[in-house]
């Protein structure tokens, strides 16, 4: 860019819908332009305008602004766009949804006619095409589609829908959060009242949830985002307007508490996960009457959203016991138990050692996971009488009828036909990544990586689908080796509330203690 760091008037203007996005883009441009000496200034509401005026008077090269504050500066005569050579409209459809169409038009009219203009939008409705026609010269449309998942590779964003009656939605959400164990998640609601009620419910169930809606001040919003990015909160319950422009690196899940009324809204929501090659999960809780809205999203996006069954109480109990078992195994392998042996020895004269151990496991289980969720959620179906999917692997076939074996499976959903699911007692807390599991299985069991199916990683355990015929070989190989330099529990995963699936799931009986 000519004139970087020399003139007073900006040479580039970036328009974004929200303050949060203005700050993110400004930070990125400052980083990228540091070697050029580029002067970047974020301009948005909620900040004293006199500071921005002084910075503009000193001179800047790039202005990253929200439309409302940029037009305010134009009206005051403090923003000179006469030398702008490049204009970027970022998230243009979001800006139009927020009512900035008139502001954008006035701002573009204040820039030179020979400028270069770039427009970025997740969707391309008629009004976006109208802006391109009115303000761009001989525009070239570039469309980036998601690359289809190759065989043996999981899609970057796993999408799923759960059909739930309205009265059971909060319980279903808690159930899914317990099963999925997201690192960080955004739950989208339609109204601020719904946001506040849901935050109370989630916090009452032991989650660290924060509200974000249009009724909050900018200072309150900043505090909430700070807690989310710092990891002191793991759930953000928000309305669409309040969450626009948010980008949280550790975000793993987006959950639609209601089916979005517009497909574009759905695209924007789930686009917050799966960025920069990261994996993510997009979950939608749909009421039976919302089946047409769900079908419309599928039609517009060109992708089917698999309908799955909620994990049952038995599923959660089995998962929680798995986590407790993995945690106890870690403590045993780490040692340093001498100070606790005296307790066992003092009770051993009165009780059986196995009973003492079982009581200790019970205490550890209750302390780490709380009480079991005893509320069964009745199964619901779409009004068009199509049963909720997820029980048969064939229902997950992609276009052309071929099963997508590598697609991540949802909680409580059985592995694909011919596959067995293996429980590995280490997860995100131990730094386990999908490539770690694939590498360990491929190297230790001598199995090609493309044969490995779905992988699900929770905080303290992981689940891996492998061909049923080699499952026992994989288990023995992993038990004989190590994962991230440590020994871990490896066995066949238990079915919903039952014993491990398949033959050879458990070898031997109880091992004597003592």
Alpha-carbon distance of 254 to 185, in angstroms, equals 6
CA 290 centroid distance within chain: 23
Considering the chain, what is the average pLDDT of its residues? 78
Contact 161/172 with Cβ under 8 angstroms? no
Predicted local confidence at residue 107, as pLDDT? 94
pLDDT by residue (tens digit) across 406-418? 333 444 456 777 8
Confidence of residue 438 (pLDDT cuts 50, 70, 90): confident
DSSP string, 309-366: PPPPHHHHHHHHHHHHHHHHHHHHHH---HHHHHHHHHHHTTS-HHHHHHHHHHHHHH
Res 223 pLDDT > 50:
yes
Predicted local confidence at residue 150, as pLDDT? 45
Q: Could you tell me which residue, 98 or 111, shows the higher pLDDT? A: 111
- Specify the CATH superfamily of domain 12-135: P-loop containing nucleotide triphosphate hydrolases (3.40.50.300)
Confidence of residue 239 (pLDDT cuts 50, 70, 90): confident
The residue-averaged pLDDT of 188-206 equals: 88
Point out the least confidently predicted range of 62-66, 76-80, 110-114, 477-481. Answer: 477-481
Contact 39/5 with Cβ under 8 angstroms? yes
Confidence of residue 149 (pLDDT cuts 50, 70, 90): very low
Contact 424/323 with Cβ under 8 angstroms? no
Contact 175/310 with Cβ under 8 angstroms? yes
Point out the least confidently predicted range of 43-57, 156-170, 230-244. Answer: 230-244
DSSP string, 177-225: HHHH--SSEEEE-SSHHHHHHHHHHHHHTT--EEEE-TTS-HHHHHHHH
The residue-averaged pLDDT of 139-147 equals: 71
Confidence of residue 68 (pLDDT cuts 50, 70, 90): very high
| Cross-strand partners of 187 | 237, 255
**Max CA separation in the chain (angstroms):** 92
Predicted local confidence at residue 71, as pLDDT? 94
Predicted local confidence at residue 251, as pLDDT? 82
Alpha-carbon distance of 440 to 488, in angstroms, equals 12
Helix 313-334 and helix 169-180, axial crossing angle in degrees, nearest 10: 30
Q: Could you tell me which residue, 262 or 388, shows the higher pLDDT? A: 262
Res 253 pLDDT > 70:
yes
Contact 466/453 with Cβ under 8 angstroms? yes
Contact 95/89 with Cβ under 8 angstroms? yes
The residue-averaged pLDDT of 140-157 equals: 60
3-class DSSP assignment, residue 94: helix
CA 514 centroid distance within chain: 45
Alpha-carbon distance of 284 to 270, in angstroms, equals 10
**What's the DSSP call for residue 144?**
-
Domains of the chain, residue spans: 12-135, 157-301, 313-369, 403-492
Alpha-carbon distance of 415 to 473, in angstroms, equals 18
Confidence of residue 401 (pLDDT cuts 50, 70, 90): very low
Predicted local confidence at residue 496, as pLDDT? 46
- Shortest CA distance to 64 belongs to which of 90, 83, 46? 90
Same fold, 12-135 and 157-301: yes
Point out the least confidently predicted range of 257-271, 370-384, 388-402. Answer: 388-402
Predicted local confidence at residue 246, as pLDDT? 65
Could you tell me which residues come within 8 angstroms of residue 481 by beta carbon, excluding any fewer than 6 positions away? Answer: 440, 444
Contact 312/378 with Cβ under 8 angstroms? no
Proportion of the chain above pLDDT 90, given as a percent: 20
Confidence of residue 374 (pLDDT cuts 50, 70, 90): low
Could you tell me which residues come within 8 angstroms of residue 107 by beta carbon, excluding any fewer than 6 positions away? Answer: 13, 15, 67, 70, 71, 74, 81
Alpha-carbon distance of 291 to 227, in angstroms, equals 36
**What's the DSSP call for residue 337?**
-
Contact 393/403 with Cβ under 8 angstroms? yes
Alpha-carbon distance of 504 to 479, in angstroms, equals 14
Predicted local confidence at residue 97, as pLDDT? 75
Contact 297/161 with Cβ under 8 angstroms? no
Could you tell me which residues come within 8 angstroms of residue 32 by beta carbon, excluding any fewer than 6 positions away? Answer: none
Res 122 pLDDT > 60:
yes
Res 395 pLDDT > 50:
no
Contact 128/143 with Cβ under 8 angstroms? no
- Shortest CA distance to 218 belongs to which of 24, 17, 15, 45? 45
Predicted local confidence at residue 392, as pLDDT? 35
Predicted local confidence at residue 277, as pLDDT? 61
Burial zone of 310 (CB within 10 Å; 0-12 exposed, 13-18 middle, 19+ buried): buried
Point out the least confidently predicted range of 21-35, 61-75, 120-134, 286-300. Answer: 120-134
CATH topology of domain 157-301: Rossmann fold (3.40.50)
Contact 196/223 with Cβ under 8 angstroms? no
3-class DSSP assignment, residue 71: helix
How is domain 403-492 classified at the architecture level of CATH? Answer: 2-Layer Sandwich (3.30)
Predicted local confidence at residue 96, as pLDDT? 83
Predicted local confidence at residue 409, as pLDDT? 40
Predicted local confidence at residue 501, as pLDDT? 42
- Could you tell me whether strands 157-163 and 86-89 are parallel, antiparallel, or unpaired per DSSP bridges? unpaired
Confidence of residue 242 (pLDDT cuts 50, 70, 90): low
Alpha-carbon distance of 322 to 344, in angstroms, equals 23
The pTM of this model reads 0.55
Burial zone of 355 (CB within 10 Å; 0-12 exposed, 13-18 middle, 19+ buried): exposed
pLDDT by residue (tens digit) across 71-85? 999 999 999 999 999
């Amino acid at each position: 860019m000519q004139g970087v760091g020399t003139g007073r008037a900006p040479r580039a203007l970036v328009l974004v819908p929200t303050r949060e996005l203005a700050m993110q883009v400004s930070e990125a441009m400052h980083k990228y332009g540091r070697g050029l000496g580029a002067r970047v200034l974020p301009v948005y509401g909620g900040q004293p305008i006199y500071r921005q005026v002084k910075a503009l008077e000193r001179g800047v090269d790039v202005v990253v602004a929200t439309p409302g504050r940029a037009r305010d500066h134009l009206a005051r005569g403090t923003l000179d766009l006469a030398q702008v050579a490049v204009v970027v409209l970022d998230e243009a459809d979001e800006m139009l949804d927020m009512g900035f169409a008139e502001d954008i038009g006035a701002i573009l009219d204040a820039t030179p006619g020979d400028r270069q203009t770039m427009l970025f939008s997740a969707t391309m409705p008629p009004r976006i095409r109208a802006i391109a026609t009115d303000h761009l010269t001989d525009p070239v449309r570039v469309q980036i589609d998601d690359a289809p998942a190759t065989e043996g590779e999981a899609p970057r964003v796993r999408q799923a829908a759960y059909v739930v009656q309205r009265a059971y939605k909060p319980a279903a959400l808690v159930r899914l959060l317990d099963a999925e164990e997201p690192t960080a998640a955004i739950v989208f609601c339609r109204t601020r009242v719904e946001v506040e009620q849901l935050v109370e419910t989630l916090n009452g169930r032991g989650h660290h949830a924060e509200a974000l809606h249009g009724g909050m001040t900018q200072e309150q919003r900043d505090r909430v985002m700070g807690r989310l990015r710092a990891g002191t909160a793991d759930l953000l319950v928000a309305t669409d307007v309040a969450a626009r422009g948010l980008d949280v690196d550790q975000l793993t899940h987006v959950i639609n508490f209601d089916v979005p009324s517009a497909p574009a809204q759905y695209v924007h929501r789930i686009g917050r996960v799966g960025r920069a090659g990261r994996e993510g999960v997009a979950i939608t809780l749909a009421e039976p009457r919302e089946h047409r809205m769900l079908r419309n999203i599928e039609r517009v996006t060109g992708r089917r959203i698999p309908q799955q069954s909620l994990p049952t109480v038995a599923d959660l109990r089995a998962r929680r016991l798995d986590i407790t078992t993995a945690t106890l195994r870690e403590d045993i392998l780490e040692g340093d138990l001498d100070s606790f042996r005296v307790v066992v020895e003092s009770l051993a004269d009165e009780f059986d050692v196995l009973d003492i151990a079982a009581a200790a496991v019970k205490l550890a289980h209750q302390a780490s996971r709380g009480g079991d969720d005893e509320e069964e959620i009745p199964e619901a179906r779409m009004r068009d009488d199509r049963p909720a999917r997820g029980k048969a692997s064939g229902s997950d076939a992609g276009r052309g009828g071929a099963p997508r074996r590598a697609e991540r499976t949802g909680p409580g959903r059985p592995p694909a036909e011919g596959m067995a699911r293996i429980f590995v007692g280490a997860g995100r807390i131990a730094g386990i990544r999908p490539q770690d599991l694939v590498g360990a299985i491929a190297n230790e069991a001598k199995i090609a990586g493309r044969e490995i199916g779905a992988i699900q990683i929770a905080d303290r355990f992981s689940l891996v689908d492998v061909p049923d015929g080699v499952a026992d070989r994989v288990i023995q190989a992993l038990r004989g080796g190590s994962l991230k330099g440590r020994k871990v529990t490896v066995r066949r995963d238990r079915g919903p509330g039952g014993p491990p699936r398949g033959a050879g799931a458990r070898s031997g009986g109880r091992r004597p203690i003592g």
